[in-house]
């Protein structure tokens, strides 16, 4: 296995990635995700809305320090609460855009605040009395937005991290906001994934003109993020298949697989949920998720 880039810490804040394009990066652990901001001539497009109110309010303050242009639309990269709970702190006049599968998954999954308080006790006070805000506009396949002269393409390339993943692509700037289709220096969460499809989606992204990756978790990166994500999944799938064929249980296989440099990524214990998910796929049940209780590593 090729050596990975040296792991480096990152800080919370708004990072400029191109003219009028920003990543809002958060430092931390479980359910501490990223968001984005694209500034247009007559309003801004937000990418995701974060998890609990203090996170979303800090993101909004960073936006106000950067531009006087209001956020008129927010696009959701997928339905998980760490990216969508914060929608309720955007005004009702703000349009919420998502893929139709994301809307369906959000309604199917519901809002288990008790589970979130259990896994994030540090945010327990902020995880009470909340409701979900659902998309107001959905699309199938792809959708193009025009922000003045800037073209923004919303792409659904299939079931990868979730059934409703959306990539936010700026072809002119070669910037891609991936949501959780990409993690950077953070082990991917796979409990809702189709890992075989995820690998195919990453290969398709590699064929795109992309210079800058804004991941769902971790710092802003370049095309090497794609290579390292593919390397992780290729390694774990190959080693899990060997152990599956040998009759080893999924949990034992997860403990037995050597991760090499990937062990330095945040949340390396997520290999267990990845192997559990892969065992389902090897048995022909790629469409099934695994329970949050079984998804060790969150």
Cβ count within 10 A of residue 255: 13
Please report whether residue 253 resides in a domain.
yes
The reported pLDDT for the residue numbered 249 is 97
Model confidence at 7, pLDDT cuts 50, 70, 90, reads confident
CATH number for the domain spanning 252: value is 3.60.15.10
Other CB atoms within a 10 A radius of the CB of residue 72 amount to: 17
The values of phi and psi at residue 57, to 5°, are: -65, -40
Within-domain flag for 220: yes
Smallest CA-to-CA distance from 67 within 22, 26, 33, 17 is with: 22
Question: What is the number of domains present in the chain?
Answer: 1
> Is residue 267 a part of any domain in this protein?
yes
- Residue 179: name the closest of 287, 80, 51 by CA: 80
41 neighbors 148 (Cβ within 8 angstroms): yes
- Whether the pLDDT of residue 18 is over 90: the answer is yes
Task: Tell whether the model's pLDDT for residue 297 goes beyond 80.
Answer: no
Which residue stretches of 147-218 are H helix? 195-206
| Residue 198 resides in a domain | yes
- 245-260, pLDDT tens digit by residue? 999 999 999 999 999 9
| pLDDT at residue 2 in the model | 56
100: Cα separation from own chain's centroid: 17
Asked if the structure places residue 186 within a domain, the reply is yes
CB-side neighbour CA atoms (13 Å) of 110? 5
Residue range of the domain that includes 273 = 13-282
Q: What is the pLDDT of residues 51-73, one digit of tens each?
A: 999 999 999 999 999 999 999 99
In this structure, is residue 215 part of a structural domain? yes
Look at residue 293 and tell me if it is in a domain. Answer: no
Q: How far is CA 129 from CA 125, 179, 194, 263, 275, in A?
A: 10, 26, 32, 37, 35
Q: Are β-strands 35-39 and 44-47 bridged in parallel, bridged antiparallel, or unpaired?
A: antiparallel
What's the distance, Cα to Cα, between the start and end of the chain in Å?
A: 26
> By C-alpha distance, which of 221, 197, 218 is closest to 210?
221
pLDDT, mean of residues 119-124: 96
The pLDDT of residue 41 is 86
- For the beta carbon of residue 117, count every other beta carbon within 10 angstroms: 16
**pLDDT given at position 153:** 98
Q: How does pLDDT run across 159-173, given as a tens digit for each residue? A: 999 999 999 999 999
Euclidean distance between CA atoms 30 and 281, whole angstroms: 25
The helix/strand/coil state of 45 is strand
As a whole number of angstroms, the distance between CA 145 and CA 153 comes to 6
In the DSSP assignment, the letter for residue 85 is G
Asked whether residue 214 is domain-assigned, the answer is yes
**Spatial separation of the C-alpha atoms in residues 60 and 144, rounded to whole Å:** 24
Residue 289, helix vs strand vs coil: coil
User: Which residue did the predictor score with more confidence, 141 or 296?
Assistant: 141
């Amino acid at each position: 296995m090729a050596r990975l880039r040296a792991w480096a810490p990152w800080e919370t804040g708004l990072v400029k990635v191109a003219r009028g394009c920003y990543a809002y990066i958060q430092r931390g652990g479980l359910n501490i995700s990223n968001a984005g901001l694209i500034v247009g001539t007559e309003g801004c497009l937000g990418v995701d809305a974060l998890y609990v109110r203090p996170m979303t309010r800090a993101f909004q303050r960073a936006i106000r320090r950067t531009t006087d242009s209001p956020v008129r639309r927010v696009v959701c990269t997928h339905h998980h609460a760490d990216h969508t709970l914060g929608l309720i702190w955007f005004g009702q006049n703000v349009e919420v855009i998502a893929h139709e599968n994301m809307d369906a998954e959000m309604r199917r999954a519901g809002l288990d605040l008790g589970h979130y308080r259990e896994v994030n006790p540090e945010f327990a006070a902020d995880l009470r009395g909340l409701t979900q805000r659902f998309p107001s506009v959905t699309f199938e396949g792809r959708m193009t937005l025009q922000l003045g002269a800037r073209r923004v393409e919303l792409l659904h390339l299939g079931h990868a991290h979730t059934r409703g993943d959306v990539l936010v692509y700026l072809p002119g700037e070669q910037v891609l906001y991936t949501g959780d289709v990409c993690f950077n220096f953070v082990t991917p969460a796979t409990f809702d994934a189709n890992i075989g499809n995820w690998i195919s989606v990453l290969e398709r992204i590699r064929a795109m003109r992309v210079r800058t990756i804004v991941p769902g978790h971790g710092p802003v990166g370049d095309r090497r993020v794609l290579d390292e994500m593919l390397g992780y999944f290729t390694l774990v799938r190959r080693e899990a298949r060997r152990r599956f064929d040998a009759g080893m249980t999924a949990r034992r296989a997860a403990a037995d697989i050597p991760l090499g440099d990937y062990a330095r990524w945040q949340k390396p214990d997520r290999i267990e949920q990845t192997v559990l998910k892969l065992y389902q796929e090897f048995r022909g049940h790629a469409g099934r998720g695994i329970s949050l209780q079984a998804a060790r590593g969150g």
